[in-house]
């Protein structure tokens, strides 16, 4: 009798598991789902998606499925059903239908990291409200009037300091440079005057940002959450201090003042949670992606001397045309850097720092004979477009001149390095200006020699696991750039 009960229980469990597995692999749909596999129950195909690769090409995860299923396929990542789109036309449609058929969405693990009230997770009027607030700092007017000269001064000081060192890890050094500059403008943070090293907390955060989401002590994801917790504690203390102090008589000393001012208005849309999440996201977004792009640009230019020479000539011409060669960069000079802008576009196209842009279907979406069910996530895949040989001839080659005559302001369907649609990255102008200013300061005065590192890994986000170490020194009179 007892044995029969055990056998019955085991059989029942097997049936339940089989039914659940069948349900997992064959989700309900009022139509025909795109081809693809849902992988293992709960786990899906996450392990393959997050597995490291060292290729500059489209990731093996995406490339294999495009070959097998075409430009639109289904999968499951971190417990959620996802349709991946590598189709430029459909990607463009997704961006244009923001707030109508699709809305911005990120996996629960991302919202856990960035905060459930972060700007990327908010929609409609609230998103537009925060975007207009952020543009007070990153809008063209403030970049032109205030940040340009600050960026140049910071870059010159850092380059001078680095040139006195036997070796400098460009990825880490550039990230620190940009972080210190933006942290000063955002929250008046000065690492030389603070008892807390804010940057160290972000290093722990970044290392686990795009990792398999297992929240167990010792894992990268757990360290990421701990890094966020420490940063948020510091921001909360600063917020309390700002709110308790008297209103500033001399206006706004940093962006945090604008946020606190909004927070203290009667019937304000701003809440304390939104304010803290906003500051956290801005601190992260303003330095990490730009430092990766700049490091990638220098690495690529080092390997392409002809393109490096042409870029150097553009910047040296700017110096020659000045009445005072030692004067600072002007906005007019920045806007004249045609080839520099092309180098930046080509760098971010190849770098593919953002491997996926997520949206959620608000209703059943019918596309090319398939149906994407309401509530499903859709991942737009920029690398699959940027490295498509039918769109970009010889896509893995570095050819800045391929951008001749192409206006990328606002993005377009074949170029999504900064997103698209109404959620086109609000920090795009800031990032491009930062890159142009740094390259100007570097190319007109310094040369460099690679020492070690420079290899990339994608997990799936871009990383320099061994850094990119160079010897930096003043240019010789003959004008050589690299030794």
Output the CA angle 242-230-213, nearest 5 degrees: 135
In tens, the pLDDT along 73-87 reads: 999 998 899 999 999
Specify the 3-state DSSP secondary structure of 293.
helix
Beta strands 168-169 and 457-458, pairing class: unpaired
CB 283 within 8 A of CB 186: yes
- What are the C-alpha distances in Å from 63 to residues 106, 385, 399? 22, 11, 23
Within 10 angstroms of residue 142's Cβ, the number of other Cβ atoms is 17
Q: Where are the beta strands (DSSP E) in 212-327?
A: none
SS3 content of the chain, % helix, strand, coil (to 5): 50, 10, 35
Residue 85 is predicted with a pLDDT of 97
Q: At how many degrees (to 10) do helices 255-263 and 272-285 cross?
A: 160
With helix as H, strand as E and coil as C, how does 411-448 read?
CECCECCCCCHHHCCCCHHHHHHHHHHHHHHHHCCEEE
Residue 121 is predicted with a pLDDT of 62
Residue 69 is predicted with a pLDDT of 96
Q: pTM score, two decimals?
A: 0.89
Residue 217 is predicted with a pLDDT of 80
Output the CA angle 428-432-438, nearest 5 degrees: 145
- What are the C-alpha distances in Å from 469 to residues 13, 60, 100, 270, 437? 56, 28, 47, 43, 21
Q: Is 276 exposed, middle or buried (0-12, 13-18, 19+ CB in 10 A)?
A: buried
Q: In the CATH hierarchy, which fold is given to the domain comprising 119-352+387-474?
A: Cytochrome p450 (1.10.630)
Specify the 3-state DSSP secondary structure of 6.
helix
Each domain of the chain, given as residue ranges in start order, spans 2-114, 119-352+387-474
Residue 60 is predicted with a pLDDT of 95
3: tokens are: 């044995």
Residue 20 is predicted with a pLDDT of 46
Q: Is 425 one of the annotated binding-site residues?
A: yes
Listed as ranges, residues in the chain with pLDDT below 50 are 8, 12, 15-20, 22, 479-483
């Amino acid at each position: 009798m007892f044995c029969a009960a055990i056998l019955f229980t085991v059989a029942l469990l097997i049936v339940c598991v089989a039914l659940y597995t069948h349900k997992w692999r064959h989700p309900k749909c009022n139509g025909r789902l795109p081809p693809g596999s849902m992988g293992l129950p709960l786990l899906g195909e996450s392990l393959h998606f997050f597995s490291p690769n060292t290729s500059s090409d489209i990731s093996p995860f995406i490339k294999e499925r495009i070959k097998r299923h075409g430009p639109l396929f289904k999968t499951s990542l971190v417990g959620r059903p996802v349709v991946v789109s590598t189709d430029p036309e459909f990607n463009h449609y997704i961006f244009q239908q923001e707030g109508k058929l699709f809305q911005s969405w990120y996996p629960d693990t991302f919202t856990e990291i960035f905060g459930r009230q972060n700007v990327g997770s908010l929609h409609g009027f609230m998103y537009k409200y925060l975007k207009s607030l952020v543009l007070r700092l990153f809008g063209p007017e403030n970049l032109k009037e205030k940040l340009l000269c600050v960026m140049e001064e910071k870059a010159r000081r850092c380059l001078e300091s680095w040139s006195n060192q036997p070796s400098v890890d460009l990825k880490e050094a550039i990230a620190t440079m940009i972080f210190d500059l933006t942290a000063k403008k955002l929250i008046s943070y000065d690492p030389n005057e603070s008892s807390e090293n804010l940057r160290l907390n972000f290093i722990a955060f970044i290392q686990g940002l795009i990792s398999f989401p297992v929240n167990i002590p010792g894992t990268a994801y757990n360290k990421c959450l701990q890094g966020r917790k420490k940063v948020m504690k510091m921001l909360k203390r600063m917020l309390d201090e700002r709110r308790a102090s008297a209103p500033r008589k001399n206006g706004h000393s940093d962006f945090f003042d604008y946020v606190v001012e909004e927070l203290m208005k009667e019937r304000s849309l701003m809440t304390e949670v939104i304010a803290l999440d906003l500051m956290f996201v801005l601190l992260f977004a303003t330095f990490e992606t730009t430092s990766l792009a700049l490091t990638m640009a220098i690495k690529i230019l080092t390997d392409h001397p002809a393109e490096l020479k042409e870029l150097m000539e553009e910047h040296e011409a700017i110096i020659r045309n000045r009445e005072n060669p030692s004067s600072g960069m002007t906005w007019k000079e920045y806007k004249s850097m045609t080839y520099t802008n092309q180098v930046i576009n080509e760098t971010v196209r190849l770098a593919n720092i953002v491997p996926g842009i997520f949206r959620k279907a608000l209703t059943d979406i019918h596309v090319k004979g398939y149906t994407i069910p309401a509530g499903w996530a859709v991942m737009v895949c920029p690398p699959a477009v940027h490295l498509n040989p039918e769109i970009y001839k010889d896509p893995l080659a570095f050819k800045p001149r391929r951008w001749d005559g192409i206006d990328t302001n606002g993005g377009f369907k074949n170029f999504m390095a900064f997103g698209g649609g109404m959620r086109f990255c609000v920090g795009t102008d800031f990032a491009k200006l930062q890159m142009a200013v740094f390259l100007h300061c570097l190319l007109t005065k310094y040369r460099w020699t690679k020492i070690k590192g420079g290899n990339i890994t994608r997990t799936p986000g871009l990383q320099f696991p061994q850094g990119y170490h160079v010897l930096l020194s003043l240019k010789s009179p003959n004008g050589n750039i690299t030794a």
